[in-house]
Structure 1
């Protein structure tokens, strides 16, 4: 299994010993995993949303998403703060950063509950990766509207 994870998240230069924390997929997934648990409870809907958003955004297979979530969960447990994740995500293009914040809002609204700790985490991550308050708020409204429409 470790070989599969290494191949999936290996660097573009082919070095298998590169730190997975340099991979934006791992960082984004770790933030989503952390976000799902920040209110003290991880719902089935949140787990499904994490898998769906990662599958759709990164065009991964079910097995690749399972490996990604496993690695992200491990990295989240090892982390003491968001800096390691956001430092990597800061190198992305602005549209990619907006997509990550959108994915975060999708996880927040997956269980139809919006806890203040979830809001706070999205706000902090957005600030750390350079997404404006306006963009964060617009994305929140868009995702919440999509969630309300689906009900």
Structure 2
């Protein structure tokens, strides 16, 4: 019995020592949060998935990790996580205030990738912004820029003001 427990623990340690990026990598943490936002409404449609792939290629191409590896690692990290804090704490250590606001704008772009924003996506972006210390004003301005970039005018419920 004791030998079985040792073998089990040894296998766990082997699983934890996988090669490749993990959630302590800021890029993986960012991609995990991207997945969390697009999945918040329970549906990841083709437009959101394509927007995510494009964003990774544009924003993280020079990070040293391939887009495919980042997408896989981020998706796995999001599936395995129980909270947002583990990811936001990694990003808080690696991003300056301006980069944090840019990151929130990227989250909004993903939230609007399907042409509208679901209230659960809105809540997730709000919560991530809060955990990253991004002010309400900066969050709203980032949302407005994302709306403009997405070409969405009117018809959106503006739940918070500047």
TM-score, normalised via structure 1 length:
0.82
Question: Relative to total residues, which structure has the larger helix share, 1 or 2?
Answer: 1
Matched, 1:136 2:134: no
Question: In 2, distance between residues paired with 1:99 and 1:52?
Answer: 16
Give the gaps of 5 or more residues in structure 1.
10-19
Q: Which residue of 1 aligns with 2:160?
A: none
Q: Is the 8 A contact 2:23 2:74 kept in 1?
A: no
Q: Is the 8 A contact 1:24 1:88 kept in 2?
A: yes
Counterparts of 1:10-29 in structure 2, within 5 Å, are 20-29=22-31
Matched, 1:109 2:112: yes
Q: Displacement of 1:59 after TM fit?
A: 2.3
Question: In 2, distance between residues paired with 1:104 and 1:113?
Answer: 13
The Cα RMSD (Å) is 1.7
Among 134, 146, 149, the alignment partner of 1:146 is: 149
Larger CA deviation: 94-103 vs 25-34: 94-103
- Following TM superposition, where does structure 1 have runs of at least 4 consecutive aligned residues deviating by more than 4 angstroms? none
Q: Is the 8 A contact 1:36 1:42 kept in 2?
A: yes
SS of the equivalent of 2:28 reads: helix
Question: In 1, distance between residues paired with 2:72 and 2:31?
Answer: 9
Q: Displacement of 1:127 after TM fit?
A: 0.5
TM-score, normalised via structure 2 length:
0.77
Task: Give the structure with higher Rg (CA).
Answer: 2
Give the gaps of 5 or more residues in structure 2.
1-18, 153-162
Q: Displacement of 1:100 after TM fit?
A: 1.2
Q: Displacement of 1:26 after TM fit?
A: 0.4
Count, aligned residues: 132
